[in-house]
Amino acid sequence: MGSYVDSVTSSSSPASLVNSSPLTAPELSDDGFEIHRLPSPLGDRPSDSAEFILVIGGLGYIGSHTVLELLREGHNVLIIDNLSNSYESVMHNIQILTASHCKQKGVPVPLLHFHRLDYRSRSMRLLLESYSNLVMTINAAGQQTMTYRSRIVGVIHFAAHKSVVESITTPLQYYQNNVCGLVSLLQTLDQYGIYNFIFSSSATVYGAKANQGLPLREEDLVHHPESYIDKSGHSVVLQPSVTGLSSPYARTKYFAEAILADVAAANPAWRIVALRYFNPVGCDPSGLLGESPRGEATNLYPVLTQVLMGARPRLNVFGSDWATRDGTAIRDFIHVLDVARGHISALAWNDRAKRHDNSFRAFNLGSGNGATVLEAVQSLEAVAGREIPLSWTGRRPGDVGSCVASTERARTELGWSPRENLVQCAADLWNFVRKAGLDSTGKV
Ligand SMILES: NC(=O)c1ccc[n+]([C@@H]2O[C@H](COP(=O)([O-])OP(=O)(O)OC[C@H]3O[C@@H](n4cnc5c(N)ncnc54)[C@H](O)[C@@H]3O)[C@@H](O)[C@H]2O)c1
């Protein structure tokens, strides 16, 4: 039976990655990034045949829930995270939840490895090497050559900076992490023959299309000409075009998708899925995992959590004059566990790649149902049993009145559809606030 271990051992791995002290004295790689790892609780070592899903940014909000779902589905997982916006305690909670799940189901506990590492570090190559076997192959000219066969069978890339507001003041930091980092990562993966790639994109890539007030379809943003059968059965050729990308953050996601589409077009060995998340909210019902950013919270639900905790006096509502049922903006809230399951469907889609010829494909992950900001607030007030103070302010530049996903492509091609609703999101979030002892009002 497997267990939770950190994989890098002195015998199988580069010395620069070995660090026996748990998160106290990080080593510095030659390019200045910290290298750190959790200790192996049971001292196990991975076998040379175990296959892994690499999850980059796997201790963050969406990443941690996805890692949990992967483990619950029996996948071995290798997490890389530099903890710039997360905490190592998340790893411990993932371990607890997985162990409990596996005990209940009577199934073996998959392997879970963690490396505290910046994914832009040159040490990534050394790490990937330690998850590869050198095998002899015969090339087209009939000669024997040695090539890497990686035990990493899929990569899910969450690591990025994600604050729209911050991206406006520090755009280079955003382009460096979200775009330049991605390019280097793809080169490194290519070197190790790892071509199964899932990318965290965002509904923000639709730019001004969101202003049309219609559900956003993946066809509304393509990176290469694509043909599409419309509702009346006519074939339409879609051309790449986007306007109204409202922030450097939005542009990083757009550029990243465009790069991925180009890479896939150039080499069909790649199987790349871009998942365009709408508004992920909620958390695992256990209350052990949630959204606890190190930086300032800017998304609606983390801010609501802080208001409930007493850490903020009130919620700023941006705009009460949108053309919606109560005047507040409409968003497509989607439970983070549904988003997590979407990644497992995307990995399965890539595994079926031979049966379709899309080396790059984008999918929306949204509920398809819009809720207003006020409805979201009310759902949380109902479970918390208390009023959330509001402050009414004007519209924020770059905001749109309504942003809702079309879920048809994800449903028909990925076989994915959401299971949870807004009430469940609110109940799970409130449970997280209570379990984490975050409520500073003393009422719980
Ligand atoms: N949360 C949302 O509402 C939302 C919506 C659309 C898209 N996304 C995208 O989904 C992804 C995950 O979002 P999240 O909400 O989980 O964010 P998050 O900040 O909670 O998680 C990102 C994780 O990546 C890590 N990280 C960042 N840069 C890194 C680097 N250079 N090397 C190693 N680790 C690094 C952080 O420490 C963090 O643990 C991001 O790419 C984000 O842009 C999020």
- Per-residue model confidence as pLDDT tens digits over 156-177: 999 999 998 899 999 999 999 9
The amino acid sitting at 245 is L
For the chain, the farthest-separated pair of C-alpha atoms sits apart, in whole angstroms, at 74
Ligand 1 cavity residues, CB under 6 Å:
57, 59-63, 80-86, 118-120, 158-160, 162, 177, 181, 200, 202, 277, 279-280, 293, 299
161 CA to middle of ligand 1, Å? 6
Tell me how far apart the alpha carbons of residues 418 and 364 are, in angstroms, rounded to a whole number: 11
Domain annotation covers residue 385:
no
Residue 271 within a domain: yes
Instruction: Decide if 390 is inside a domain.
Output: no
Contact (Cβ atoms closer than 8 angstroms) between residue 41 and residue 7: no
Measured between alpha carbons, how far is 18 from 33 in angstroms, rounded to an integer?
14
The per-residue pLDDT for range 3-27, each reduced to its tens digit, is: 323 333 222 332 222 232 333 344 4
**What proportion of the chain, given as a percentage, has pLDDT over 70?**
87
Which sign, positive or negative, has the C-alpha torsion 4, 9, 11, 14? positive
Which pLDDT value is given to residue 77? 97
Which helix (H) or strand (E) element contains residue 62?
helix 61-72
- The answer to whether residue 41 scores a pLDDT higher than 50 is no
Name the more confident of 343 and 300. Answer: 343
Residues 112, 260: Cα–Cα separation, whole Å: 28
- Would 421 be classed as within a structural domain? no
**Which residue in 403, 377, 400, 382 sits closest to 315, CA to CA?**
377
249 annotated active-site: yes
Angle, CA of 417, 418 and 419, to the nearest 5°: 120
The average pLDDT across 361-376 equals 96
What is the C-alpha separation between 58 and 125, in angstroms, rounded? 18
User: Which helix (H) or strand (E) is 197 found in, with range?
Assistant: strand 196-202
Under the banding of pLDDT at 50, 70 and 90, the label for residue 32 is very low
DSSP 261-302: HHHHHH-TT-EEEEEEE-EEE---TTSS-----SS---SHHH
Residue minimizing CA distance to atom 11 of ligand 1: 158
Domain total for the chain? 1
- The phi-psi region of residue 219 (left if phi > 0; otherwise alpha if psi is between -120 and 50; otherwise beta) is alpha
Question: How confident is residue 47, by pLDDT bands cut at 50, 70 and 90?
Answer: low
Model confidence, pTM: 0.88
pLDDT tens-digit readout, 304-323: 888 887 888 999 999 999 98
Determine the length of the chain: 444
In a domain, 280, yes or no: yes
Tell me the residue range of the domain where 350 lies.
15-296+334-367
CATH number at residue 235: 3.40.50.720
Shortest CA distance to 163 belongs to which of 56, 249, 282, 279? 249
Burial class (CB in 10 A: 0-12, 13-18, 19+), 293: middle
Higher pLDDT, 114 or 135: 114
Instruction: State residue 439's pLDDT score.
Output: 43
Q: Cα separation of 273 and 268, whole Å?
A: 13
Using most ligand atoms within 8 A of CB, pick from 67, 81, 166, 257 the residue to mutate for ligand 1: 81
Tokens representing 285 are 């019902």
**Domain membership flag for residue 45:** yes
Determine how β-strand 144-150 pairs with β-strand 132-138. antiparallel
Residue 176 has a pLDDT of 98
- Could you identify the atom of ligand 1 that is nearest to the CA of residue 159? 24
* Cα distance between residue 53 and residue 42, in whole Å: 21
Ligand 1 pocket test: pick from 90, 158, 281, 338 the residue with the most ligand atoms within 8 Å of its Cβ: 158
* Ligand 1 atom closest to the CA of 295, numbered from 1: 19
440 inside domain: no
- Residue 437 — pLDDT band, cuts 50, 70, 90? low
Residue 438 domain-assigned (yes or no):
no
Q: DSSP letter for 329, please.
A: P
Q: What is the pLDDT of residue 300?
A: 86
Q: What is the pLDDT of residue 355?
A: 64
DSSP for residue 353? G
